[in-house]
Structure 1
Amino acid sequence: MPAQAPDPQILITDDARDIREPLALFLRRQGFRTRLAASAAEARRVLDETTIHLVLLDIMMPGEDGLSLCRALSAAKGPPVILLTAMLDGDDIVAGLNAGADDYVTKPFNPDELLARIAAVLRRVPPVELREGAARRRFAGIIHDADRQTVTLPDGQEAELTAGESRLLTGFLDNPNAILSRLRLLDIVRNREPGAYDRSIDNMISRLRRKIGDASRNPPLILTEWGHGYRLAVSTVEDCA
């Protein structure tokens, strides 16, 4: 019997303890998992440590403000963001939406309204889908056979991949030369490996690098983009007959 997907996890980022803690309790009672952060810096650490499906983000915080973090999440194709704002000025709301926010609520907010907005955002955020194309593709002289879950190196040596490794490589081949965040890679892998967690992505990347012979390449094919994710440094991916 397939493992059941875990409940969505929401990161509440607000410097006001009297907002984030009661809100976390309310959301847990509605079936969500929650993580808390009192600043953008703390939120970044949480996002790097665990899978977050949606961020509730206060705009006005000491240090880095919510708009800056929202822009960073949007650029990295991170989880959707609902802004929590005391600002009623239309320009401020437009600035938030332009920063990549998916929605906003003004303080003080009705918890039931917020719950409805969370559900609406989670419904419309599409899951990561892999390209429906040729089962065999060539990149940098390597052939990936998605059906057989193998890679064949330029010297003819073949290596078997796990289902997660094969899906991970498919995600890279669907997005050559694009930076993929660890969160997005987790979404790609999780469909095949429900028990996957974000640190397992790093281990999977290491195994995949070994199997495609990255140790003997300079520079390697799979590059670490510090603070952002990983990138497959190829410009051409060809379908094989």
Structure 2
Amino acid sequence: MAASPWSLSEDSSSSPDEEGPGTWGEPEVAQPLLQAALHRKAADLVVFLLLKYRTQQPTSQAEMLEVVGNDYQDAFPVIFGQASACMRLAFGVDVKEVDPSDHSYVLVTVLGLTCGGMPSGEQGMPKTGLLVVLLGIILLEGDSAPEEEVWEKLGVMEVYPGKEHVIYGEPRELLTNVWVQEGYLEYRQVPGSDPARYEFLWGPRAYAETSKLQVLEYMMQVNPGQQPSSLALSEKAVSDEEEGA
């Protein structure tokens, strides 16, 4: 399951409407072996949902129950909550219910971003989750984030420059080249720095497709216990954005 630089709360890994009976509905008090079994089933469901996302196909609760298996039907709300949180936080993909009558779902990138998370021609995993994290870091840093600060925060997710990541590949290329070319980020030398230092800012495509308010709301959902001082800076940035609109 994904970790983020603003540290995930335990509540973020469960579905808001789960009501499973007994220990199924309360994974925090379940036995370790039961917790491990739930995580394995959630991982199986994530693999299934990633396939649906890549092929741009909808899915249904009935299909997902087949993946989970008969022995875990009662635990489905917990498993689905964990899998949905992983899809959102690690991959930047929302599992959205489109028809409550038959519990059908579509998979879309978060916050209205259109990049799809995978550069053209690639068959790897969606990387939008990392982009959203980075946009949040920039927001928390007051609209421009020093490169060294970015890598320090991404280290929480074991994302390091020059080191291949299982989901995001080589992150330096992604941050300083791919997303810059796509217009999501700006990567520039800090004015007047000698020796040269660099910083990240939102690019024009990020401003066009999402907003500081949406990113701030996302961050608060991820971690309701976010440091007040950090949120105060972000809220000021949002206020400035709204005044300039």
Q: What TM-score does the superposition give when structure 2 sets the normalisation length?
A: 0.28
Identify the structure with the greater helix proportion. 2
Instruction: Return the structure number with greater relative CO, CA threshold 8 A, min gap 6.
Output: 2
Higher alpha-carbon Rg: 1
Higher strand residue share = 1
